[in-house]
Structures are given as C-alpha cells and as structure tokens.
C-alpha cells in the first residue's frame, strides 16, 4: 500500500489543438450521461482507436482535443444519450472502470469528462449572454462582446484521516451505499487555507478539534469536477457529535476492525490503507 499514483504526464502530453499534419487514428474518449464508451475483452476495457467518429457512425455534440497519449492524439467527445453502441463496445459509468481500464487512461478520461462538462455549460457569457468562442491557444472560452474569459472549473475539497490512539475516525452518511463509512471531507470556502478547511469541516461534521495537520496527497475526482486534497491529522479535543443530516453516525474504529470502507479508486481508501499499514 502506498500514496496515490504518480503523474500521468509520463505518457500524456496536454495540448489545445491537434497537429495539422496528423491523419491517422486517435484515442477517442466518448461520453454521454457520465458514461464512457469502451471496448471490453476478457475483463479488460479499452477506448476506441479510430480516425474519426464517423467510423463509429456517431455525430458528436462537441469535441475537444486533449493532447497526445503515448505519442498519439487523444480527443474527448460528447454524443447524444440515445446514441447506439457500436458492435463490441458499450457505454459504462466512468467510476466502474477503475480496475478494468488502464489507470492513466482512466485519469485522462476524468479530465475529458470535466472538460466536456465545462464546454457545455459555458457556451454563453455569464456576464452579458453573448455566445462565447473557444480559444485556440489555451483551454478557455471568451466573450467577443465584453471580453470575459471562462476557464474549466475545478472545485478543491479536503479529505482527512483523523487518528486517536491508533484508532481512525470514520463517518456514515445517509446517502452512502452498502453501509459504507468514509472520512471527513468538504469543499474549500473563499478565504480559507486548506488547513482552515480541515479544521472547519471537522468541527462542523463531528464537533471535534484536530492538530498536527499534514498533507498526504491529492487526486482529481471528476464527479463532477473536484480536486481532492488529502490530509492526516490527530485528535485534539471534543466529543463526537453529528448533525443527523449530512452524517448520521461517526465513531473511532480499531484499525483491525474496520467497517465497509470506500473502493480503491478513491483517495479516501488510499488514506485509510496508508494509516492501516503504518499504524497497525
């Protein structure tokens, strides 16, 4: 067990416009309704590698160039929800593909779905309502009337593993499935540092103070457009109190007697696994 994976930039080079001389096949990350079109062979998923969507009898609502993956162009495209699945391919929820899709491709698909969502919701200027134009030198959309420039949205959030006497604080939310327990997390508010957010969210959600806050790792989380920043912290004072709405139960758990915890795709699980390995 270890901290989250290394950067995807060993295999992926971001870019805004495709090379003009390229005429071969490309990787296509094709989405609708939060689902990615994949090929499936013996439990392993892949993405279409074709010259154009027309070869798959698909008409895109929007297409964005992402750069090159292993030296080959990579595009993200959105299609209509009722688009038929080509033979041998299927639309699958992105989160369900973590263990069957190449990990770099999974994270690149996360970038693709976020970029498409941004492009869809910024077709018009938020200031004056004029139709925006896609930039050719950076990922942005600009208003030709008032000059407002809109960039892809990223929402930073903190998630914290809190320790007390070799026990970990885990919490249950009414919307969690399978009686799963997770870590304390929440979005950063204007004016806060990341450490401020750790303190505030912990106090708001479970009523305790923490100390010795230290950075663990970060993870892009494209559900829909978050950046999860992981921390470790130690209990300082207070008694656990939940509000009964956002959380309905929280407690200290022995590291060898954990309840159902998040899947390996999440930084929450990586934090928990790291704690178990280093504190058991």
The C-alpha atoms of residue 111 and residue 175 are separated, in whole angstroms, by: 26
Q: Is 124 annotated as a binding residue?
A: no
- Tokens at residue 280, please? 């058991």
Task: For residue range 220-246, list pLDDT tens digits in order.
Answer: 999 888 999 999 999 999 999 998 888
**277 annotated as ligand-binding:** no
Q: Compute the 3-state secondary structure of the chain and give helix, strand, coil in percent, each to the nearest 5.
A: 20, 35, 45
- Whole-number pLDDT of residue 5: 64
Return the pLDDT at 20. 82
- pLDDT at position 2 is 46
Is 224 marked within a binding site? yes
Which region, left, alpha or beta, applies to residue 273 given φ > 0 means left and ψ of -120 to 50 means alpha? Answer: alpha
Neighbours of 168 (CB within 10 A): 22
The verdict on whether residue 201 carries a ligand-binding annotation is: yes
Q: Please tell me whether 70 is known to bind a ligand.
A: no
Q: Which residue, among 269, 270, 247, has the nearest Cα to 260 in the 3D structure?
A: 269
148-175: per-residue pLDDT in tens? 999 999 999 999 999 999 999 999 999 9
The label of the residue with tokens 């990579």 reads 74
Q: Does 187 count as an annotated binding residue?
A: no
Residue 203, classified by CB atoms within 10 Å of its CB into exposed (0-12), middle (13-18) or buried (19+), is middle
Parallel/antiparallel/unpaired status of strands 155-164 and 141-142: unpaired
Q: Tell me what the pLDDT averaged over the chain comes to.
A: 94
Q: Do the annotations mark residue 122 as ligand-binding? A: no
Say whether 146 counts as a known binding-site residue.
Answer: yes
**Averaged over 45-66, what is the pLDDT?**
95
Is residue 28 annotated as involved in ligand binding? no
204 labelled binding-site residue: no
Q: Which candidate, 278, 195, 265, 280, places its Cα nearest to that of 231?
A: 195
Q: Is 167 annotated as a binding residue?
A: no
| Contacts (Cβ under 8 Å, ≥6 apart) of 214 | 231, 232, 233
pLDDT score of 1 more than 50: no
């Amino acid at each position: 067990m270890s901290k989250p994976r290394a950067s995807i930039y060993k295999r992926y080079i971001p870019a805004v416009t495709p090379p003009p001389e390229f005429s071969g096949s490309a990787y296509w990350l094709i989405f609708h309704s939060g689902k990615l079109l994949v090929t499936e062979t013996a439990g392993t998923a892949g993405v279409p590698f074709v010259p154009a969507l027309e070869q798959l009898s698909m008409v895109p609502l929007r297409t964005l160039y992402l750069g090159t993956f292993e030296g080959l162009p990579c595009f993200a495209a959105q299609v209509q929800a009722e688009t038929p699945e080509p033979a041998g391919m299927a639309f699958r929820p992105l989160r369900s593909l973590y263990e069957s899709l190449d990990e770099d491709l999974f994270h690149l698909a996360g970038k693709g779905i976020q970029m498409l969502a941004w492009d869809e919701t910024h077709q018009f200027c938020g200031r004056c309502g004029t139709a925006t134009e896609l930039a050719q030198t950076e990922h942005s959309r600009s208003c030709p009337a008032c000059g407002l420039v809109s960039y892809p949205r990223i929402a930073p959030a903190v998630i914290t593993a809190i320790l007390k006497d070799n026990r970990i604080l885990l919490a249950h939310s009414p919307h969690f499935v399978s009686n799963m327990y997770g870590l304390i997390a929440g979005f950063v508010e204007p004016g806060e540092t990341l450490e401020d957010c750790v303190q505030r969210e912990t106090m708001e959600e479970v009523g305790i103070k923490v100390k010795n806050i230290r950075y663990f790792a970060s993870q892009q989380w494209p559900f829909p457009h978050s950046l999860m920043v992981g921390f470790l912290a130690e209990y300082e004072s207070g008694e656990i109190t939940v509000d009964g709405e956002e959380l309905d139960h929280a407690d200290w758990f022995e590291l060898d007697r954990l309840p159902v915890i998040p899947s390996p795709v999440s930084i929450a699980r990586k934090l928990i696994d790291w704690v178990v390995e280093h504190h058991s």
